Chain A
Amino acid sequence: MTNYILKRLGQGLLTVFLTVSTVFILIRMAPGDPAVSYAGPLASNEQLAAVREQFGLDRPVLEQYWIFLQQLFTGNLGQSYSFQAPAMQVVFERMPYTLTLATSAILLTAVVAIPLGVWMSRRPDTGKEFGVNVLTIAGQSMPDFWTGIMLLTGFAVLIPLFPASGFATWGGLVLPTVTIAILQIALISRMVRREMTNNLAAPYLTVARSRGVKNSVLTWRYAMGNSAIPVFTALGTRFAAMLNGVVVVEVVFAWPGVGSLIVRALETRDYPLIQATVLVTALLAVAVQLLIDLAYPLLDPRVRLGKAATA
Chain B
Amino acid sequence: MSLDTATPAAAQPARQPSPSAVTKADIARAGATRRRKSAQWKLIIGTVCTLLVIIPIILAQVLPLPDANFQDLSARRLPPLTDGHLFGTDQLGRDLLSRVLHGGQVSLTIGLLAVLVSGAIGVILGAAAGYYGGWVDTIVSRLLEAQMSLPLLMMLLLVVALFGPSIPVITFVIAIAQWPEVARLTRSMVLVEREKPYVSAARILGLHKIQILIQHIIPNVIKQATLVVLLLLAQAVLLESALSFLGAGPQRPFATWGRIISDGQDYITTSWWMVTLPGLVIVLMVVGVNLLGDGLRDRPRRKKKGA
- Chain A residues proximal to chain B, CB less than 8 Å: 12, 15-16, 18-19, 23, 26-27, 29-32, 124-126, 130, 133-134, 137-138, 140-146, 149-150, 152-153, 157, 237, 240-241, 244-245, 247-248, 251, 262-263, 266, 274, 277-278, 281-282, 285-286, 289
Query: Given the complex, which residues of B lie within 8 Å of A130, measured CB to CB?
Result: 38, 41
How many Å from the CB of B8 to the closest CB on chain A?
32
Across the A-B interface, the 7 shortest Cβ-Cβ residue pairs: A244-B151, A125-B34, A141-B286, A146-B279, A30-B162, A125-B38, A141-B287
CA distance in complex: A274, B245 (Å): 20
A141 near B275: Cβ-Cβ < 8 Å? no
Closest-by-CB residue of B relative to A183 is B238
A143 near B282: Cβ-Cβ < 8 Å? yes
CA distance in complex: A145, B279 (Å): 9
B268 near A157: Cβ-Cβ < 8 Å? yes
- A interface: dominant SS: helix
How many Å from the CB of A13 to the closest CB on chain B?
11
Instruction: Given the known inter-chain contacts A32-B161, A278-B151, A285-B151, please indicate yes or no for A248 contacting B234, CB distance below 8 A.
Output: no
Count B-side interface residues using an 8 Å CB cutoff: 47
Query: Given the complex, which residues of B lie within 8 Å of A157, measured CB to CB?
Result: 268-269
Query: Given the complex, which residues of A lie within 8 Å of B262, measured CB to CB?
Result: 145
Interface: B139 (CB within 8 A): no
A251 near B246: Cβ-Cβ < 8 Å? yes
Query: Given the complex, which residues of A lie within 8 Å of B294, measured CB to CB?
Result: 137
How many Å from the CB of A23 to the closest CB on chain B?
7
B35 near A124: Cβ-Cβ < 8 Å? yes
B261 near A244: Cβ-Cβ < 8 Å? no
Q: Name 5 A/B residue pairs within 8 A (Cβ), A-sorted.
A: A23-B158, A27-B158, A31-B162, A137-B291, A143-B279
How many Å from the CB of A143 to the closest CB on chain B?
5
Interface: B205 (CB within 8 A): no
How many Å from the CB of B43 to the closest CB on chain A?
13
- B interface: dominant SS: helix
CA distance in complex: A182, B162 (Å): 32
- Point out the residue from A19, A137, A145 that lies within 8 Å of B258, measured CB to CB: A145
- Point out the residue from B149, B153, B245, B291 that lies within 8 Å of A143, measured CB to CB: B245
Interface centre among A23, A247, A274, A278 (most CB of B within 10 A): A247
Query: Given the complex, which residues of B lie within 8 Å of A15, measured CB to CB?
Result: 145-146, 149
B146 near A149: Cβ-Cβ < 8 Å? no
Instruction: Given the known inter-chain contacts A125-B35, A130-B41, A153-B269, please indicate yes or no for A240 contacting B149, CB distance below 8 A.
Output: yes
B154 near A262: Cβ-Cβ < 8 Å? yes
- Point out the residue from A19, A146, A266 that lies within 8 Å of B157, measured CB to CB: A266
- Point out the residue from B42, B148, B155, B275 that lies within 8 Å of A146, measured CB to CB: B275
CA distance in complex: A124, B45 (Å): 18
Query: Given the complex, which residues of B lie within 8 Å of A237, measured CB to CB?
Result: 148
CA distance in complex: A146, B155 (Å): 22
B291 near A247: Cβ-Cβ < 8 Å? no
Closest-by-CB residue of A relative to B154 is A262
- Point out the residue from A30, A248, A289 that lies within 8 Å of B161, measured CB to CB: A30
Interface centre among A26, A145, A244, A262 (most CB of B within 10 A): A145
B242 near A30: Cβ-Cβ < 8 Å? no
A282 near B246: Cβ-Cβ < 8 Å? no
CA distance in complex: A145, B283 (Å): 12
A146 near B146: Cβ-Cβ < 8 Å? no
